Structure 1
Amino acid sequence: MTQHARTTPPSPVGKPIRDDAEAIRVTTGLLPRLAAGAARRDAERLLPHDEIRQISEAGLFALTVPAALGGADVCVVTLTEVFRLLSVADPNLGQIPNSHYVFLEALRLGGTPEQQQRFYGEVLAGARYANAQTERGGRTITDDVTTLTPDGAGRYRLNGEKFYATGSLFADRLLVRAVLPQRRPDGRADKSVAFIPADAPGVRIEDDWDALGQRTTGSGTVRLDNVLVPVADVIPYSPIFDRPTTYGSFAQVLHAAIDAGIARAALNAAKEQVARARPWFEAGGERAVDDPLLVQTAGEAEIAVRGAEALLVRAAELIDLARTAPDAANTAEASIATAVAKVAAARAAVDASSILFELAGTRSVLNSLNLSRFWRDGRTHTLHDPVRWKVQHIGRWLLDDVAPPRHGQI
């Protein structure tokens, strides 16, 4: 375990991305470089500082900055495709910007005009944000004990400990979810998000992430000891969920995009490896791909992955539609579509990354090839939130018109 020392400085953005088409074009152009070292980075746990710098300098951390503030303000369909493409190259690189964009959405929904102008301006200038929201000590993932305590005029003191702080090793600011001393009228904790510099006094970021997969996301521990936070750097969080919004579905569709990217990457690897595989003697062909049973397996896997990709686009379309004028009906539709996409993508990621070995044959288990990383990444990331509850929400919606809950804890 090591304490974080900044090795990825803020990256000046080159020519800003202007629109959705340019966002896809720029992302696609980066993919060969990002994918080239993915297997080695996973095997040796080499943190992708250079790759994050490339992504940042290309403007891909500033895609949702509002047009009125000088940004491209791309649609959710485009942003989702960017995440999917990055995850095809390396799922770690797909996950690192996730919380950056989710909390920029919280800024859009809950920040004052002054806060929006300042923080979106930082992002346009190349700043990267990361989350510090989840804790390990509570009964459930929704329980927070990290506190913002008033400390004189115009500031708070922030104390607590966070885990799964994805992207924190590459961030300029940490966006910390914390509870305020007062309770809400219904008795629930009143939560806010503090935008703090990653190198502020009292902040310690530890590189202690020790996971089966997604090994280079920088998802370690953040310790906060009497960190001084100006009131102007805190935005309300709990009120976001008092009204219909697409905040939850927006966060979840990006996770679904990561899973869909893993699934596609696994099939890409399978196609490459099967060309080197020997045919099974009972199949009677000269090549492995002449085996009709192997072809059947590949076809079924492709159907599942394409289905997940299509459902991902549909969910993003419905989120875009609901964002224009959110109400109870259209935000619920967007949430259900996102749940469907999340389940399909999670299943596709785990299944395709397992089928990879069946298609590629015995040679594929050699450690030198590191093909297990697709399954390890898929299995790790799909535990992020249980799809069994997505299925419950979908079923209740179908049978009894029960809208899914509003929550943004994950």
Structure 2
Amino acid sequence: MTPEDLLPDDLLERFRERAKGYDERNEFCHEDLAELKTQGYLRMFASVDDGGLGFGLEQAAAAQRRLATAAPATALAINMHLVWTGVAHLLHERGDDSLHYVLQEAVAGEVFAFGNSEAGNDSVLFDSSTVAAPLGDGSYSFTGTKIFTSLSPAWTRLGIFGKDETGEEPVLVHAFITRDAPGYTIKDDWNTLGMRASQSNTTVLDGVVAAPERVFRKLPVGPNADPLIFSIFACFETLLAAVYTGLGERALAIGVATVQKRRSKKSGKSYAQDPDIRWRIADAALAMDGLYPQLEAVARDVDNLVNHGSQWFPKMVGLKIRATETARTVVDLTIRVSGGGSYFAGNELGRLYRDVLAGIFHPSDDESAHATIANAWLGPIEP
């Protein structure tokens, strides 16, 4: 099955029609999620033998790029489920089946979400402000606050992590909690500028317990080479880049269609004949043309187990920055050639202008990415 088979044109048109309403009402994409489930979208990373679609990261990224041309906020929300199922798939490909149950449960209809982000935690996955307390039977209770928890109204499994400081050395504990577990609260606080249908609400953990069989990793504080960390970064950054690539692709298509329809009163010609407007459209197309092969190459190398060594993380964060910044530039260029209609509420291009700004806030941010890349090429800063 190809991404085009999975997301046929008529399905995308329904998503595009609903996207406006979700945004206006600040409402979760319930209907989109239901249709994606029916299509088998949430089980794309599971093997065919397990009842999935057998996709690798390259195919999943292509599907997310295509979905984002219709509904970027829906694609962003679904990304979080695909991160966890993608991690399970990448670990399996590298000989680690510790998260095989994630793929099995995704096939059974469970929805996974990503609950690791914390306000002010610039260490991202290498430290945590959340307290993970061992309970003696292998289970852990978690107390802390997680932000940007996409899929908040729909997840049935939430991946979280916290720090256990009860031993000689602190460890970071990774686990899943289930929706029916007591001890957490989802705030109704997702009143944002854009990406509203993702409903990425704040989740407050107040002693919620992850069962022993749901505790899947204990890692030291600080950077480490565990395959889990590589897999999370690979899926998170690549699929995020795919969403913003699709958003930029759609903005360019709208810009092209708009300038072909608009006519100059002065010349009587289509604005597509105006040299300045042609220059801006060409700039946008040039920017997008450089992004497509980068996205495909990074995803393909992950699938093919290519060993980029110390350059892997620069490649992944570099892709994320390139995608989010390119999409932002392309949307801005197309706004400039599309006229004042894009400034009105309900206009698709205006919505993309708001949606694309969310790319600034996803990890890795611009500063972190540049530090990662500088360290890879120049070595760490001397103490």
Q: Place the TM-score, normalised by the shorter chain, in its bin.
A: 0.7 to 0.9
For the Cα contact (< 8 Å) 1:250–1:319, is it kept in 2? no
Within the candidate set 111, 131, 154, 1:170 is matched to 154
Within the candidate set 328, 345, 349, 1:371 is matched to 349
* Residues 390 and 90 of structure 1, relative CA distance in 2, 3 Å threshold: same
> Distance between the aligned counterparts of 1:86 and 1:269, measured in 2?
16
Match of 1:270 in 2: 255
Match of 1:28 in 2: 8
Within the candidate set 311, 318, 321, 2:294 is matched to 311
Match of 1:259 in 2: 244
What is the aligned-residue RMSD (CA, Å)? 2.9
> Distance between the aligned counterparts of 1:133 and 1:341, measured in 2?
21
Match of 1:215 in 2: 196
Q: Deviations over 1:307-362 (max 9, x none)?
A: 11221111112222226xxxxx4244443333343232122211111112221122
Look up the SS of the partner of 2:304 in the other structure: helix
- Paired residue total: 371
TM-score by length of 2: 0.86
Within the candidate set 361, 366, 375, 1:387 is matched to 366
For the Cα contact (< 8 Å) 1:158–1:226, is it kept in 2? yes
* Residues 50 and 83 of structure 1, relative CA distance in 2, 3 Å threshold: same
> Distance between the aligned counterparts of 1:133 and 1:62, measured in 2?
22
What displacement does 1:171 show? 0.7
Match of 2:118 in 1: 135
What displacement does 1:298 show? 0.6
User: Which consecutive residues of structure 2, in runs of 5 or more, have no partner in the other structure?
Assistant: none
Match of 2:271 in 1: 288
Look up the SS of the partner of 1:163 in the other structure: strand
User: Which consecutive residues of structure 1, in runs of 5 or more, have no partner in the other structure?
Assistant: 1-20, 324-328, 404-410
1:191-270 matched pairs, under 5 angstroms:
191-236=172-217, 238=219, 241-243=224-226, 245-270=230-255
Match of 2:303 in 1: 320
What displacement does 1:115 show? 5.6
Look up the SS of the partner of 1:238 in the other structure: strand
> Distance between the aligned counterparts of 1:113 and 1:138, measured in 2?
28
For the Cα contact (< 8 Å) 2:129–2:162, is it kept in 1? yes
What displacement does 1:367 show? 2.4
> Distance between the aligned counterparts of 1:77 and 1:112, measured in 2?
19
What displacement does 1:127 show? 1.0
What displacement does 1:137 show? 5.6
Greater Cα shift, 39-48 or 258-267: 39-48
* Residues 221 and 247 of structure 1, relative CA distance in 2, 3 Å threshold: closer
Greater Cα shift, 50-59 or 205-214: 205-214
